[in-house]
Structure 1
Amino acid sequence: MKKYKFLLVFLLVLSISCTRKNKIEDIFITSENYYWQFNSECQGAFGHSINFKFDKDGLSHQYGFSVEKSYHSVEGESLAPKKWFIKNDSILSWDDMDYKIEHIDATIIILSRYHPIDKKQKCKISFLKVVDGKLIN
């Protein structure tokens, strides 16, 4: 009887854990006209807007934005889609790097990781949800 109780508790915890992970993934995944605008404390945007879409298939795609072209893919031979997934309900694994999820909601995601060269420097990365080049409130 103890085995069955343990198994039941284990299955309950597992289902709750998987449900939370799916909700976090759902926030990253954007609908057709929405994008995540990328900002980093440790690397600038080099004077232009960098935007991403995270697909439910586990790939992210990079887009530029300009008034003339609106959103346009910047992927090509040298820039390919990046793999992503959520692990342990608090880590974004993206392009073979791990980012701690500091905050997440429907309009902003804040991540952190240590600088690849200066391991003492903690870098904050933010994604702001945008549509037509405008932030969502």
Structure 2
Amino acid sequence: MDINTNYNVTSIYNNRVSTLNSQLGKDDFLKLLVTQLKNQDPLNPMDDREFIAQLAQFSTLEQMQNMNSSINAIRAINLIGKNIYATITDNNGNSRTVIGKVDVVYKQNGEYFLEVNGIDIPLDAVTAVLE
């Protein structure tokens, strides 16, 4: 019986190189798990306890991401009507301070933004909040 030991994992490695500067997400974790299962040695398969532990880690990661998104939504909504200080950086690398009342909160591409005096400010750029 011949066993194929020529595994092709270069495509996964090449895809990962392009996003090394970003955080690993649940999709990356799931891809790694599937690749590991697909390329395991058929004569020495993965221990079922290892597999269950990895699935538990995947579930925990997903719940943490959901909780983080909910916390950011609450943080943003609680700022409506309040005066804030924020430091934003433009495309040229110049920083400036914005002070004013939060009029609108919106979410775009998974990130929350506040509108202050017609200026869009990322939630993470807020440095102080006044009552």
What range describes the TM-score normalised by the shorter chain of this pair?
0.3 to 0.5
TM-score, normalised relative to structure 2: 0.36
* Higher share of residues assigned strand: 1
More helix by share: 2
From the CA coordinates, give the structure whose radius of gyration is larger: 2
